[in-house]
């Protein structure tokens, strides 16, 4: 009963327009202190103090430190002229295919994904440069915004990835393994987005084509080489075990500063305070959800909901692949209407317990879940990548939402491959962590 | 009276944002130092604990700044399709609920912070009251912002 009221209030508050962190926190804190929810012997002040301890414990984690740091590194890279270099280099690589700039945008997003851990940052950094350029080349604005949003969603699949940090934090699955697992899925996503873009551009005759030139590749590579060094340092550091994920995030901040200030000279010291404050506040919106959700999920676990859901699922009698499909389909639907961090925190405790019954490895499941929620970032009504690219392009959400559908279909196909072909996610982690 | 409230709320937020700058900057330097010292063969025993506690501070203080900047992640409510007066009632209800929640957190947060004086942290051996104090303090900041918002809502409906 308590759990039903809890969820009903959560959705009511979200529908009424209360921020998600408070929509999660208010009902949980209110119900914790409501007489009758806990046995009469427990003192009110004991429960109140438990709330305070839970809020603290919810974010008192070394792993979560990576969240503000990767946000800051992304923000520095975004202002430091790195997006343009990555786009020029990508354009020289793939600009000669039909829909060249659309493909270049996706490749650049993949490179940027190797620096930033957030899809919104990826969309903003690449979109600000690419959308105006695509419109100048005659691409319809809605298509340009859709491609940028799709490319941006790769930001959380190719490591570093903030949702993977959160998943690892919640389940104790190794974050480094999740990162390694996301690598090839991210590349598969990029390739399927490019295939669909090329197909659409050929069919509709969008865009210009430039000649392939090895000389231009060398030239743009020379400018972009420092920017391309960032993913090498961050991922290389984590996967080789030299630094932890959090330490790598701190190194990424310093490397980003070095590139933006010393090599590109586009960032000034006086820009830094505003950048730091902005990225800390963005990180705090995510962390505040995590803190509030700690109270929420604690209350749920006290009422043995996880076990109840487990029993109900077992009663369905589905084979492992059927259960996996069911969970993935449910996540796609939830991803459409729910913000990523909130969906992760509320669902992971229930779903992680089901992984053995789905016949998948915990690392694979973590990657699948993050990938699935990344698709949710591309689907209206609640999709952060769409919001950002609509903001940049000025195209209404509905139009971009329609234009992005073929790309969403490609993403779902890629997700299915990742579901039923485990080596895609597990081969790289097994290679690195013998 | 209302404008005084708004001034206080804005002033506190400026201070909180400056504090966020210091906290965010310290975390970066601290972790960079941690990696450096480890490879020099002298691990810092306390840097991990301090940076975790700084993260808690960023979460709650940053939460107040996000609320002030209205950048909390949320949907546009269904209220505004129901007309202005309904929307206003909904906003007031949500503000009262939020206010109540942070009053609870100030009360129990203070209670627990005082109690936590007996516990000391593992590495630095400081009383746990120090890191925990950020919860009641930022809840108070939240209350100031929410009350200032409520005053603005009432002022608008009075006009």
Strand partners, A38: A35
CB contact under 8 A, B28 and A246: no
Run of H or E residues at A261 = none
Among A277, A405, A340, CA closest to A117 = A340
Q: Decide: helix, strand or coil at residue B120.
A: strand
Rounded to an integer, what distance in angstroms lies between the CA atom of residue B28 and that of residue A252? 10
C-alpha span between A285 and B152 (Å, rounded): 24
Q: A254 to chain B nearest CA, in Å?
A: 8
- Enter the pTM of the model: 0.87
Q: Looking at the complex, does the CB of residue B59 fall below 8 Å from at least one CB of chain A?
A: yes
Count of A-B CB contacts under 8 Å? 189
Q: How confident is the model at residue B77 (pLDDT cuts 50, 70, 90)?
A: low
CB-based contact, B72 to chain A, within 8 Å:
yes
- Which residue among A21, A22, A52 places its CB closest to the CB of B109? A52
Give phi and psi for A38, each to the nearest 5: -110, 155
Q: Please report where in the chains the tokens 């290679």 appear, as a residue.
A: A431
Taking the C-alpha atoms of residue A254 and residue A231, their distance in angstroms, rounded to an integer, is 13
Residue B75 has pLDDT above 60, yes or no: no
Mutate to test the interface with A, among B36, B62, B135 (most CBs of A within 10 A): B62
Kindly report, residue by residue over B139-156, the tens digit of the pLDDT. 999 999 999 988 887 777
Question: Which candidate in A288, A289, A337 is best for mutational testing of the B interface (most B CBs within 10 A)?
Answer: A288
Strand partners for B127: B120
The ipTM estimated for the assembled molecules is: 0.93
Distance in angstroms (rounded) separating the CA atoms of residues B71 and B142: 14
- Residue A35 has phi, psi (to 5 degrees) of -60, 140
Please tell me the predicted confidence (pLDDT) of residue A315.
Answer: 83
CA angle A121, A272, B132 (to 5 degrees): 80
Q: Which residues of A touch B111 (CB under 8 A)?
A: 45, 48-49, 52
B119: part of which helix (H) or strand (E)?
none
B77: Cβ contacts below 8 Å, ≥ 6 apart: A15, A16, A17, A18, B87, B90
What does each C-alpha distance from A339 to A19, A51, A63, A332, B105 come to in angstroms?
11, 24, 21, 12, 25
B52 touches chain A (CB under 8 A): yes
* The pLDDT value given to residue A416: 95
Closest CA to B126 of B18, B53, B21: B53
Cβ contact (<8 Å) for B62 and A287? yes
- Are A285 and B75 inside 8 Å of each other by CB? no
Which residue is closest to B134 within chain A, CA to CA?
A: A56
- B95 inside 8 A of chain A by CB: no
Nearest alpha-carbon partner for A73 in A82, A84, A64, A61:
A82
Sign of dihedral through CA atoms B53, A367, A348, A116? positive
pLDDT per residue rounded down to tens, chain A (434 residues): 788 899 899 989 988 888 889 999 999 999 998 887 787 778 888 899 999 999 999 999 888 998 899 889 888 888 888 888 889 999 999 988 988 899 999 999 999 998 888 888 889 889 988 999 999 989 999 999 999 999 999 999 998 999 999 999 999 999 999 999 999 999 999 999 999 999 999 999 888 777 888 899 999 998 888 888 888 888 888 888 888 888 888 888 888 898 888 888 888 889 899 999 999 998 998 899 999 999 998 888 887 777 787 788 878 888 889 999 999 999 999 888 888 888 888 888 888 888 888 889 999 999 999 999 999 999 888 788 998 898 888 888 889 999 999 999 999 999 999 999 999 999 988 887 76
**What pLDDT, on a 0 to 100 scale, did the predictor assign at position A189?**
96
Judged by CB atoms closer than 8 Å, whether chains meet at B56 and A280 is answered as no
Q: How far is A151 from chain B (nearest CA, A)?
A: 22
């Amino acid at each position: 009963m308590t759990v039903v009221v809890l969820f009903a209030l959560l959705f009511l508050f979200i529908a009424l327009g209360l921020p998600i962190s408070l929509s999660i926190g208010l009902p949980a804190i209110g119900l914790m202190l409501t007489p009758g929810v806990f046995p009469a012997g427990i003192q009110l002040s004991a429960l109140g103090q438990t709330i305070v301890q839970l809020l603290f414990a919810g974010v008192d984690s070394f792993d979560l430190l990576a969240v503000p740091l990767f946000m800051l590194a992304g923000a520095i890279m975004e202002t430091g002229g790195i997006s343009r270099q990555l786009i020029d280099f990508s354009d020289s690589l793939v600009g000669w295919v039909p829909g060249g700039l659309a493909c270049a945008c996706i490749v650049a997003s993949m490179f940027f994904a190797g620096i930033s851990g957030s899809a919104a940052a990826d969309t903003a950094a690449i979109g600000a440069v690419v959308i105006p350029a695509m419109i100048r080349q005659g691409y319809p604005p809605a298509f340009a915004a859709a491609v940028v949003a799709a490319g941006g969603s790769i930001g959380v699949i190719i490591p570093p990835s903030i949702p993977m940090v959160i998943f690892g934090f919640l389940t104790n699955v190794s974050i480094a393994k999740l990162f390694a697992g996301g690598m090839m899925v991210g590349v598969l996503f990029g390739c399927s987005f490019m295939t669909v873009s090329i197909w659409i551009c050929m069919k509709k005759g969008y865009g210009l084509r430039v000649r392939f030139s090895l000389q231009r590749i060398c030239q743009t590579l020379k400018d972009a080489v420092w920017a391309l060094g960032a993913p090498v340092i961050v991922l290389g550091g984590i996967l080789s075990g030299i630094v932890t994920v959090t330490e790598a995030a701190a190194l990424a901040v310093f490397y980003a500063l070095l590139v933006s200030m010393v090599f590109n000279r586009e960032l000034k010291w006086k820009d830094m305070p505003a950048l730091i404050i902005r990225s800390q506040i963005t990180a705090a919106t995510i962390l505040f959800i995590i803190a509030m959700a700690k109270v929420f999920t604690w209350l749920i676990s006290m009422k043995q909901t996880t076990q109840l859901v487990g029993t109900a699922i077992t009663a369905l009698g589905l084979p492992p692949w059927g259960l996996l499909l069911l969970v993935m389909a449910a996540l796609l639907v939830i991803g459409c209407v729910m913000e990523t961090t909130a969906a992760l925190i509320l669902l992971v405790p229930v779903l992680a317990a089901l992984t053995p019954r789905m016949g998948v490895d915990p690392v694979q499941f973590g990657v699948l879940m993050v990938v699935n929620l990344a698709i949710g970032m591309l689907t209206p009504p609640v999709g952060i990548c769409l919001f950002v690219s609509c903001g940049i392009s000025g195209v209404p959400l509905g139009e971009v939402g329609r234009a992005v559908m073929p790309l969403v279909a490609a993403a779902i196909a890629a997700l299915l491959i990742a579901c039923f072909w485990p080596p895609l996610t597990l081969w790289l982690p097994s290679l690195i962590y013998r | 009276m209302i404008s005084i409230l708004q001034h206080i709320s804005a002033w506190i937020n400026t201070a909180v944002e400056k504090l966020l700058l210091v906290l965010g900057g310290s975390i970066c330097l601290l972790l960079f130092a941690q990696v450096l010292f480890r490879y020099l063969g002298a691990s810092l025993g306390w840097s991990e604990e301090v940076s975790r506690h700084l993260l808690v501070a960023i979460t709650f203080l940053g939460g107040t700044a996000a609320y002030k900047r209205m950048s909390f992640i949320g949907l546009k409510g269904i209220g505004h399709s129901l007309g202005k007066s309904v929307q206003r009632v909904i906003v007031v209800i949500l503000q009262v609920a939020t206010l109540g929640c942070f009053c609870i957190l100030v009360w129990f947060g203070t209670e627990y912070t005082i109690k936590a004086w007996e516990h000391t942290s593992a590495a630095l051996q400081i009383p746990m009251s120090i890191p925990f104090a950020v919860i009641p303090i930022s809840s108070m900041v939240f209350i100031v912002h929410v009350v200032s918002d409520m005053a603005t809502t009432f002022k608008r409906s009075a006009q």
